[in-house]
Amino acid sequence: MLAYMTQVSREKATRFLGPDSATRDLAVDLYLQIANLPLLCPHGHVDPALFTDPDYSFGSPVDLLLLPDHYLLRMLRSQGISYESLGIPDRQGSGGQIEHRQIWQIFADNFHLFRATPSGIWLTLELEDVFGITEKLNGDNAQGIYDQIAAHLETKAFRPRALFERFAIEVLCTTDAATSALKDHKVLKETGWKGRVLPTFRPDTLVNIEAPSWDLKIEKLSQVSGIAVGDYASFLAALEQRRAAFKALGATATDHGLRSAATQSMDAREAEALFRRALRGEADEADAEAFTAHMLIEMARMSSEDGLVMQMHVGAFRNHDTNLFERYGSDRGADIPTSVEFTRNLRPLLERYGHHANFRLVLFTLDESVYARELAPLAGYYPAVRIGPPWWFHDSLNGIERFLEQVSETAGIYNLAGFNDDTRAFPSIPARHEVWRRGVCNWLAGLVLRGVVDETEAAEMAVALAYQLAKDTYRLNEE
- Per CB under 8 A, contacts with a second copy among 184-243 are none
Closer to a second copy by CB, 273 or 452: give it: 452
Closer to a second copy by CB, 176 or 374: give it: 374
CB of 179 to a second copy, least distance (A): 30
Among residues 52, 205, 415, 468, the one that binds a second copy under rule CB under 8 A: 415
320 binds a second copy (CB under 8 A): yes
32 binds a second copy (CB under 8 A): no
Task: Give, as ranges, the residues between 77 and 116 that touch a second copy (CB under 8 A).
Answer: 77-80, 112-116
Among residues 335, 421, 422, 434, the one that binds a second copy under rule CB under 8 A: 335
Taking contact as CB under 8 A, which single stretch among the options 61-69, 213-221, 243-251, 315-323 is the one that binds a second copy?
A: 315-323
28 binds a second copy (CB under 8 A): no
CB of 401 to a second copy, least distance (A): 9
Among residues 105, 241, 264, 343, the one that binds a second copy under rule CB under 8 A: 343
Angle formed at CA 63 by CA 213 and CA 38, multiple of 5 degrees: 95
Q: Write the CB contacts of 256 (distance below 8 Å, at least 6 apart in sequence).
A: 202, 203, 204, 207, 296, 299, 310, 311, 312, 313
- x/- map, 293-312, a second copy, by CB under 8 A: --------------------
Among residues 129, 374, 421, 434, the one that binds a second copy under rule CB under 8 A: 374
Task: Give, as ranges, the residues between 420 and 449 that touch a second copy (CB under 8 A).
Answer: 445-447, 449
Closer to a second copy by CB, 121 or 312: give it: 121
CB of 173 to a second copy, least distance (A): 24
Taking contact as CB under 8 A, which single stretch among the options 94-102, 140-148, 281-289, 408-416 is the one that binds a second copy?
A: 408-416
Among residues 382, 419, 426, 474, the one that binds a second copy under rule CB under 8 A: 382
Task: Give, as ranges, the residues between 387 and 406 that touch a second copy (CB under 8 A).
Answer: 393-394, 396-399, 405-406
Of the CA atoms within 13 Å of residue 222, those in its CB half-sphere come to 13
Closer to a second copy by CB, 64 or 378: give it: 378
- x/- map, 111-150, a second copy, by CB under 8 A: -xxxxxxx--x--------------x--------------
Closer to a second copy by CB, 129 or 374: give it: 374
* # of chain residues touching a second copy (CB under 8 A): 91
Among residues 461, 466, 470, 476, the one that binds a second copy under rule CB under 8 A: 461
Distance CA 263, CA 430 (A): 36
Among residues 53, 74, 101, 215, the one that binds a second copy under rule CB under 8 A: 74
